[in-house]
Structure 1
Amino acid sequence: MAIVPPPALLLLLSPALFWGAPGCAAERAEVLCAGAACYTLHRDQLAWSSAQKRCQNNGGNLATIRSLEEAQHIQELLGRSQAGAGWQGNVWIGLSLEKGKCVQSHDPLRGFTWAGGGKKTNYSAWLAEPHTTCLSHRCASLQPAAPSSPAGWADGPCRAPLPGYVCKFSFQGMCGPLALAGPGTVTYTTPFGVESERLAAAPFGTLAQVTCGAGGGAQQFALCKEQQPAGGFAWNHRGPLCALGCAHRNGGCEQECVEAERGAPPRCACHPGYVLAPDLVSCAPADGCDPNPCEGPCHRRPAGGFECGCAAGYTLAPDGRRCLDVDECLGQPCHQECHNAPGSFACTCRPGYEPEAPGSPRCRDIDECAAGAAACPQLCLNVPGSYLCACRPGYQRDARQEACVDVDECLRDPCPGTCLNVPGSFRCTCPPGFVPAADGGTCHPDPTHTEGPAGASQPTRLLAATLPERPPGSSAQPTATSTTTATTSTTASTTASAGLGAAHDAEHTTDGPKLLLYYILGSLVAILLLMAFALALLAYRRRKAKEEKQQAKSAADDYCWMPEQAESRAAGSEFR
């Protein structure tokens, strides 16, 4: 097999190598590749912005930690450093709060954002609440795990330098490590300019330099660039590498080794029922789904090979084998609140609401008044998500007793006569000899009233409290003129009747014409007095009607409502 020199290989096959720094020497740093990302640890005393710029120059960003799995990868990376003793001190990660934005206590990230953007997740690992501010640029660092303290995040000034930082580089796929059939070493140079001799996975564009022999013999080169149908990538120059012949370690082959002619390295083959894997060294069953190489279900292809699938609520990872949880809440399937769970999600309702049906994503208001959850002393009014308490007409709220107390309507002097307060209402009475008028605001003589023995009057009638309030400035009793006129007319009528009766007793047998004349004169006097009383009463009622029209009482005075503000479900049963 011909060996292609590294410069030609770089020019022809690797235009993406050493992003941002073509021609620069590779950096020696701790690197860990897993899933679809690589993480690198750098030992440089830098501020947060300088560290972020270094990561960006190589095609990445300061590390984002969006899940517990990512946090474990970075902890493993920190544990490799300093000869296996573990990293000491905090390192910068890609979490920051811009100047002018405030810390938000309800947000898992507390208002901070990840460098490079991307979707938000609920994962957080704050060791303590960040410093509350809106006026300064704050950045987060990662504190490694120690025997006396857990790993977690801490915030601080972005300009203060730290002794290290972690970068993250994302890829669409990876190659597996190169297998050597004989003695030799492999040095991997990644596209982000880091050189390492140990990689469990190599990202697309990684150059592998293979040195065969213990003393540094022939060299071979391979590039991770060939995309596989089932996902991921493969090396363009596959095994067996550094093979000495089939007699040494079976030529590096898993099953069968076939010697080549003219000094060429041997090649590998497989037993019946097996096929050669993409690395050209190992063998896989002809039925790719037995054993199942997938995290989820495996589907055989008619033309050979297999394809991995995932259960509902999961999606296939970029490597084509693993399954990743789908965040269904991003599609807003719930009416109010959505909580994502592995492979599923759950809908919940805000306080004061309940699901329309068991398992329904929609919510409906709870009628606390009908359910008996409200503790109102008199009236309960249901509102969306809560309820309000109110008092019946004739009552008002007592803040000290947290109850509804009776309103003394008589303090407003609503009656033309005497006012009697009763629970929730009041009653008006008129003077003796008078009854309430049809308008409810005045009194007029009772035509059925008669004087009893020794001037005693009949019992006074009571009026239920439906009378409107008397306009301010008007008299509560009938005017002096109307009262005097009524009294005079009544007295005169009584006197005239009494006089005529006496004359009739004395003279009805001797002077008939004179008695008739007395009767006629007495009737005329009574008619005139009644007409005068009627005119005075008409004038009084007109004046009262005019005053009442100018100052009409509002019907809303009979009601006393509590403040119209929604109470929370927890405090809905108390007066505040």
Structure 2
Amino acid sequence: MKDVTGLLVVVLTSLMGQAGGIEPNSGYCIGNQCFAVFQDPSDFTTAQDQCMDQDGHLMTVRSSVSNDILLILLGNFTGRFWIGLHLTTGCPDAAAKLRGFQWVTKDSESDFNNWTPSFDSSCSSHRCVSVSREDEFKWIQEPCVGDAAGFLCEYSFGESCKSLAVADGESVTYRTPMGFGGEGVLSLPPGSTAIRMPARIKYVCSSEQWLQAPWSCEINNGGCEYKCAAGPKHVFSCSCPPGQAVNPTNKVTCEVATEDPCLPLRCAHDCLKSGDSYACVCDHGFMLAQDGRSCVDFDDCMDKRQCPGENFQCVNTVGGFHCACKEGYKLTGGLCIDMDQCMSAPCEHICVDTPGSYECACHEGYKADPKSPNKCKLHCDEDECAAECDPNDSTQCFCPDGYLLDERDDGSFCIDIDECSGNYCDQGCKNTFGSYVCTCLPGYTLVDQYKCVKNGDHTDTNELEGTEVTTTPNIPTTPPVPYPGPTRQPSAVTVGGLVGIIVCTVFVIVLVVFLVHRIANGGGKTESAGELKAPEGEAHGLHQVTSDA
């Protein structure tokens, strides 16, 4: 097979341009150009994008020849169709070439024009151009945002294949990579295919010549009806299912076999003739196992030549592979372009875009949250820092973890809490900004970040003697005294408020004692007077005692 590698590159490039595109309704090729008509309602910009997706652009009508092609393409269609002529800036100019309009190729070169007599030269005129059979294919100004019935695309290529010679009783049907074809095509772009009937021989156009199938398996299954297999030295062959054999004339179609020598081999994939005998072969992306009939997948990406190009990576799949952009890159125009991840605002404060990734940073007075690196938390590296207050509400102030809010006449401040005064550690304690660390004496090992266990009583050999651990991230589950907890948001009671509460409480207590004492003294006097007073003649239980004498 001659120049198979070059064929693969040229044809795949042609076919990839058609991936995901819409099918044209008809087309016409002449020389090194092809033209196609798409009956798809679109505005001007969408129509141009559709043509560009297939490596073309909206049709330019620069000569009477191209105008004749336009008449051929639209002869059976009704409605308005976009051509590649528009006014990009300024106002129409009747004295300028093409009256100030230009082609989508960003030039005004033209030996032909077909403007309608009702051309509008005002600055408020419509800026895009369409044609229709109903208006005798005159160039008519249209609003670019409106939908036309369809559009015309133009494609150019460097090399082309002439139509194949046809003998009596034969016919050849062609199909271009753009999706249109037929029998009466005189010039075809690379990647076009042809089928000669009735023999059903297939061809593909490459480097101005037709190559007979089977060709590379990467292109339309090599032209094979059933399966295509790659052999050594880039030799490709077709195979058929059990009970059928490859047609010896066209080498691609399958027909009923009078005798199938492959049946006894029980091949997992395919069977091909090898010299005077037959042997099992595997599909592309698989290799023959030691038993000579099974097929196993192999990692195509082990070949470093796969997926060349900057920022591409090879992704292995069952029976093959595909090329994709590395993480943080996207495919644009055949290249892997770095994505600006910061556009999606992944960071709470500052985002710095890097090749294939991004980095987060924090504003002054903050540091990255260890649990969520894309978020920021208040930070103070001194005993006292200014509090972070709401600019719209000065009463709403916040302090970093491990700090207490102190409101003063000159502002609100965050005071570092001395956690070591709370006896949170078994032995040694060192206060730090916003936290503290526990340490143990020689012969002891720190456990659970605050307990000291005598060596020999502790079985965890991974913890070392005298280890210092910051206890803010993980608070002990059973500390000697309750941990006060972080001060992410300020307490509702400030230092000044606390003093006021104590003074008020003392005053209330003194007042209650005074009232109780007053009531107690007054009640005693009343009761004594009542006891001394009694009605006349009443002896209050006392009886007079007289003597017998």
Task: Give the TM-score taking structure 1 as reference length.
Answer: 0.34
Highest CA radius of gyration, 1 or 2?
1
Which structure carries more strand by proportion? 2
Relative contact order (alpha carbons < 8 A, sep ≥ 6): 1 or 2 greater?
Answer: 1
